[in-house]
Amino acid sequence: MNRGAIILCGGKSTRMGSDKASLPFGEEQMLQRVARLVSQVVEPENIVCVAADGQQLPVLAREIRVVCDRFSGRGPMEGLAAGIAALENSATAVYATSCDVPLLRPAWIDRLFELLGDHDVVVPRENRFHHPLAAIYRSSVLPRIEELLGADQLRPVFLFDRCNTLEVPVEALRDVDPQLQSLLNCNLPEDYQAALAAAGLGSELAGD
């Protein structure tokens, strides 16, 4: 299996109040940190960042490609389509993540790739809630994503219903991520401060 990864960066960051990809996190910015963690298990040349049109991203390793959503405001499925299309000739399966998970564990990504087997998708599930941006997708699902986008069916669960999907209870992943920190998105300023604290970084690094 040729591994790839997609980091979605094009959200509006409305609740945070500033672009999450560029938030300071120690000596890095948020996106730089997430890309570095992902690159521990996926070759940088097989990592794609999907940005909004005109969005300015932090400087990344030169091997990492940046592509843009074709249409804005259509959620993660649009970003998945752009990312998989950019990688479909070099990666048979991709890990998809948002840019705001600075406590992501590389072992988490490894485990999900290991679980893929003959499935099209491997997605963590927490009770009835899926985590589509902490999941593995075969590149071969791109036509199904395109069909759903064309029908304005933008929720990832529609894709899961159409594919051979393995739903993994999050409790089964605690051996690689005991506190499930790979699922902790920084949506609000208080989430960001909590992530800084968990990483042993002071809030003054956020510019306070």
Comparing CA positions, the residue from 93, 60, 68 lying closest to residue 9 is: 68
Q: How far apart are CA 56 and CA 144, in angstroms?
A: 30
Q: Is the pLDDT of residue 204 over 80?
A: no
Helices (H), 39-119: 75-87, 106-115
Phi, psi of 205 (to 5 degrees): -70, -15
Cα(4)–Cα(97) distance, integer angstroms: 11
Q: Is the pLDDT of residue 15 over 70?
A: no
Q: What are phi and psi of 101, to 5 degrees?
A: -120, 70
Of 33-37, 142-146, 171-175, 188-192, minimum mean pLDDT range: 188-192
Is 206 among the domain residues?
Answer: no
Q: What distance in Å separates the CA atoms of residue 46 and residue 68, rounded to the nearest whole number?
A: 16
Q: What number of CA atoms fall less than 13 Å from residue 3's CA on the CB side?
A: 19
pLDDT > 70? residue 205: no
In this predicted structure, the answer to whether residue 1 has a pLDDT above a threshold of 60 is: yes
Assigned domain for 204 exists: no
**CA angle (164, 90, 1) in 5-degree steps:** 50
pLDDT in tens, 120-134: 999 999 999 999 999
Does some domain include residue 127?
yes
182 in any annotated domain: yes
Number of compact structural domains in the chain: 1
CATH code of residue 135:
3.90.550.10
205 lies in some domain: no
Instruction: Name which of 68-82, 97-111, 129-143, 193-207 the model is least confident about.
Output: 193-207
Cβ atoms within 10 Å of 172's Cβ, excluding its own: 12
Q: What domain range is 177 assigned to?
A: 3-199
Residues linked to residue 49 through DSSP beta bridges, in sequence order:
7, 66
pLDDT category at 54 given cuts 50, 70, 90 is confident
- The verdict on residue 207 lying in a domain is no
Mean pLDDT for the chain overall: 92
